[in-house]
Amino acid sequence: MASGTIRYWAAAKTAAGTAEERYEALTLAGALAAARDRHADRPDFERVLLRCSFLVDGVQVGARTHEQVRLADGGTVEVLPPFAGGAS
């Protein structure tokens, strides 16, 4: 079992009620399932998580299934909600 840090940004941080927390999981799917359990009392968390993209140790998860994404001991998962903005 690997352990590391999940970092929440913007709306994900608000929905989780924290900027970061620890994970103990082998895959991104396992880490996110545990996070969903921890934040089951926060109804916006699941909704926001469904719209997020993820970086694992600085690498975009992209189209890979979360079950395929292995987590490293001491690694970092970045949870990035969609961002608005840009040039008008």
**What's the domain range around 27?**
2-80
Residue 88: inside a domain: no
Read off the CATH number of the domain in which 68 is found: 3.10.20.30
Number of structural domains found in the chain: 1
Give the pTM: 0.90
Encode pLDDT of 10-21 as tens digits: 999 999 999 999
Residues 6+ apart with CB under 8 A from 84: none
Q: 18 Cβ partners below 8 Å, 6+ apart? A: 8
Identify the pLDDT of residue 86. 46
pLDDT digits (tens, 9 = 90+) for 30-54: 999 999 999 999 999 999 999 999 9
Sign of the Cα torsion 16, 19, 21, 26 reads positive
